[in-house]
Amino acid sequence: MFELLKYSLILVWCFLSPPMWAQQYDLLIKGGTVVDPKNNIFEPLDVAILEGKIQEVSSQIDPQTARQVLDARGLLVSPGLIDVHTHVFVGGREGIFAGGFYSVSPDDFSFRTGITTMVDAGTSGWRSFPEFKTKVIDASQTRILAFLNIAGAGMIGKPGEEELSDMEIEATLNIIKQYPQTIVGAKIGHYTGESWEPFDKALDVARQAKKPLFLECHLPQLPLDQLLDKMRPGDIFTHTYGAVDDRLWLLDANGQVLPSVQDAREKGIYFDVGHGGGSFHFKLAQPAVQQNFYPHSMGTDLHRFSMNAGMKNMLNIMSKFLNMGMDLPAVIEAATWNPARMILREDLGHLSIGAEADVALIRVRSGEFGFVDAGGYKLTGDKLLQSELTIKGGKIMWDLNGLAAKPFKN
Ligand SMILES: [Zn+2]
């Protein structure tokens, strides 16, 4: 009698339930065009996710095999974007970036623009990193990594940020050793003096930590050639298309990219956009792009003074380069696999089987769009990248048009 009841129940379950035995995936992204530069993929493919990891990337995965299916037709399916230049050590202090109001809250800006990883560009130093870690990094859903400022208190403005006695190699190294998963390198910038000491100390930290140096080129008193000469392969130069104190450093008088900059690139130094509020000019970027001097990464320099200016967000910067002639896979590479390599996190920035399921579904819109630089100049283009849906670790974090939502019926 008991056996009969058991088999009857199984029979009823089989008829009433969807075919659960066939559902081996949590989420299936179906019908999109996968663009995964690390793996040399740019073609229509389906992507299946299980337990927060990429489980299968192939054509025609059966929708019956997944508990949830996203219709990605007409969309790009990219690895989650990585922004290597942000200022997200937000807090209540007025007038400064470190723990202050000049920084912005990461989750407010990340997923809605396809970003799953943000790298803070040295807003904190060894004194303030523990506070940044507790109050922002651990409290955010965005994956946040950080360059550590050689200035102990981080970006607190003049005069504290330029105080040589607060730039301590050992203390900075100790914090980097304490947080090896989160701190990806050392940063120097926002120093207006004539001493080489801050730069040399930051470089020394980077060398000892075996991590890259991130140079914000706010070192106006130091000769560019010497800076580039001291930098090592793998170090990162940001504000590539910017002007510091009206110094249009990237090009010579004839509009050609400076030989020293070309040499630095040959040597293996990376060039980040670092758009920010004042560090991106079409008059530099357009000629540079025409000479194939493309950025390695699309860092935004996100903060309170860039977010509502010409910068807007990383997809807007990517759209600028797309419209200036950079091809689409190269633009995506500069927002995914390149930055992952630059911060020595090769586990990120691609859709390999077993990788963390960070995925950005992006629409390439056609129309007439205006793009604004830091000088107030406009470039018109016919393509605009827009974030439709963002997944981090298999979880949907942003869904512009309700791709994952149930249809409403009254
Ligand atoms: Zn910055």
Q: What is the DSSP string of 109-153?
A: TSGGGTEEEEEEEEEEETTTHHHHIIIIITT-SSEEEEEEESSTT
Q: How large is the average pLDDT for residues 27-38?
A: 98
pLDDT band at 221 (very low <50, low <70, confident <90, very high): confident
In a domain, 25, yes or no: no
pTM of the model: 0.94
Does residue 2 surpass a pLDDT of 80?
no
pLDDT band at 11 (very low <50, low <70, confident <90, very high): very low
Does residue 21 surpass a pLDDT of 80?
no
325 CA to centre of ligand 1 in angstroms: 26
**The pLDDT of residue 94:** 94
121 CA to centre of ligand 1 in angstroms: 6
Cα separation, 127 vs 109, in Å, equals 26
**The pLDDT of residue 3:** 58
**pLDDT tens for each residue of 171-182:** 999 999 999 999
36 CA to centre of ligand 1 in angstroms: 27
Cα separation, 49 vs 354, in Å, equals 9
Instruction: Characterize the bridge pairing of strands 378-392 and 359-372.
Output: antiparallel
CB-based contact 123:89 (threshold 8 Å): yes
Q: How large is the average pLDDT for residues 358-386?
A: 97
Q: Which of 322, 212, 310 shows the shortest CA–CA distance to 269? A: 212
60 CA to centre of ligand 1 in angstroms: 43
In a domain, 49, yes or no: no
397 CA to centre of ligand 1 in angstroms: 26
In a domain, 355, yes or no: no
Q: How large is the average pLDDT for residues 320-338?
A: 98
Alpha helices per DSSP H over 122-280: 129-132, 169-178, 197-209, 224-230, 259-267
The total of structural domains in the chain comes to 1
Does residue 245 surpass a pLDDT of 90?
no
Does residue 309 surpass a pLDDT of 70?
yes
189 CA to centre of ligand 1 in angstroms: 8
In a domain, 148, yes or no: yes
49 CA to centre of ligand 1 in angstroms: 35
Residue 263 sits in a domain whose CATH number is 3.20.20.140
87 CA to centre of ligand 1 in angstroms: 6
Does residue 9 surpass a pLDDT of 80?
no
Q: How large is the average pLDDT for residues 86-114?
A: 97
In a domain, 32, yes or no: no
In a domain, 30, yes or no: no
pLDDT band at 298 (very low <50, low <70, confident <90, very high): very high
Q: How large is the average pLDDT for residues 92-107?
A: 96
In a domain, 3, yes or no: no
Q: How large is the average pLDDT for residues 151-164?
A: 94
Does residue 113 surpass a pLDDT of 70?
yes
Task: Give the torsion through C-alpha atoms of 45, 46, 51, 52, to 10 deg.
Answer: 50
What residues have CB less than 8 Å from 61, skipping those under 6 apart? 25, 28, 30, 46, 48
122 CA to centre of ligand 1 in angstroms: 8
**The pLDDT of residue 301:** 97
pLDDT band at 247 (very low <50, low <70, confident <90, very high): low
Q: Which domain holds residue 200?
A: 81-342
Q: How large is the average pLDDT for residues 129-149?
A: 98
Sign of the Cα pseudo-torsion (29, 51, 400, 82, in order): negative
Q: Could you tell me which residues are beta bridge partners of residue 56?
A: 48
pLDDT band at 14 (very low <50, low <70, confident <90, very high): very low
Q: How large is the average pLDDT for residues 44-56?
A: 98
**The pLDDT of residue 220:** 83
**pLDDT tens for each residue of 331-351:** 999 999 999 999 999 999 999
In a domain, 4, yes or no: no
157 CA to centre of ligand 1 in angstroms: 13
**The pLDDT of residue 246:** 59
Check residue 297 and report its DSSP letter. Answer: B
**The pLDDT of residue 68:** 97
